[in-house]
Amino acid sequence: MIVILVAAIFGCGVALVCAYRGARWCLNRIAKSLAVVPEHVMRNATVERFVLDMAKEKPIRFTAEQLTGITRNYSMRLGTGGFGTVYRGALPNGLAVAVKVLHPGLDTKTSEEQFMAEMGTIGRTHHINLVRLYGFCFDANATRALVYEFMPNGSLDDYLSSARRAGAEVSMTTVAAIATGVARGLRYLHEECQHKIVHYDIKPGNVLLDATLTPKVADFGLARFVSRADTHVSLSGGRGTPGYAAPEVWTELRITEKCDVYSFGMLLLKIVGRGSSFHCEDDAASGSESSQPWFPMVAWTRYEASDLMELVLPTDVDDTRSSSREVVERMCKVAFWCVQQRPAARPSMSAVVKMLEGEMEIAPPPNPFQYLVANLWINVVSSDVASSQQSCLSSHKK
């Protein structure tokens, strides 16, 4: 009995020592993987070597002091969004970066959810049409920031708006290539990642352009992982941008990646109408008031009348009238399929890419806005009935 007891105690002791050493080893590995990179390491590495190393490693953890130096005390602001402000910076080796600092005014839960959404999604993906996350800073009591690759041509929204203000003409070939790149990025998120990722906020402001106008999907603050075995995602509330978010985002709690397909369709219509006086933001479905007709509905009307070219600016010298007509018609037909009311009627992003690239024939789409016309008719009838009832009531009182 004594021998057995001693052996048992000795065995437990050995097990505890092994467990302790194993835990220490794991913690050391984690700490090493998230260790702050010394500035001299970044300074001595060439940009090419640094980017190559980044492709093999996890995002780098920066200190708040390093970010202050990288951004020159946050002196150059690039823009501000709902969750944070973006500043331009440069690593010690000269690599240009964009530093997104989460708003300090956000409550802790919202700030952490935003941080984890971006780190957990874009931090695990590598694709030419997705913005690259270089690193992060997480200080529980102060700075929470994400360090991205810098996009010299800004957002697609800014690019189209500045071209319009300057009176410059952007060829349909160029914008079609940008749209196809965005579609490839979404195809990767939906169909090629280990876990399906739904972005939930596809719009021109969240598409960035590099020096060669290669588009990169950005801002993953609302993104969600979805198991490929799941048929839908349950949400506690609506998310996305009115005018681009799918109708079911606001009306149902069980949605799919087809929400991104709808938003991409609206983005296509925005690109097509870049030179028009109409805008996709005038969301008839959301009830926003505007003196201008809703561009997607106008585009459908023009499509039915075989008059789509009236929607866009004259093309530049790189496009012929016939080729522009073909590109515009293809983009509009794809867009009309993407914005169908029923999610099941919308194509997958792989099918969208094939249609945009001309590898798949595009069937004539049904009217995607029929439900809006029906709802408008019901509202008008209901209004007339209410007016009649009020008149009858007034007459009865008299």
Alpha carbons 101 and 88: distance in angstroms, whole number:
11
Q: How far is CA 231 from CA 139, 150, 170, in A?
A: 37, 36, 40
SS (H, E, C) 354-372: HHHCCCCCCCCCCCCCHHH
Task: Tell whether residue 100 is among the known ligand binding residues.
Answer: yes
Of 349, 305, 308, nearest in space to 331 by CA: 308
3-state secondary structure of 159: helix
The DSSP 8-state label assigned to residue 58 in this structure reads P
- Residue 201 falls in the annotated catalytic set: yes
- Per the residue annotation, which of 53, 139, 157, 201 is the catalytic one? 201
* Residues whose CB falls within 8 Å of the CB of residue 31, separated by 6 or more in sequence, listed in order: none
Q: Please say whether the beta carbons of 187 and 210 come within 8 A.
A: no
Quote the CA–CA distance of 71 and 96 in Å, as a whole number.
10
Annotated binding-site positions for ATP: 100
Task: Give catalytic residue positions.
Answer: 201
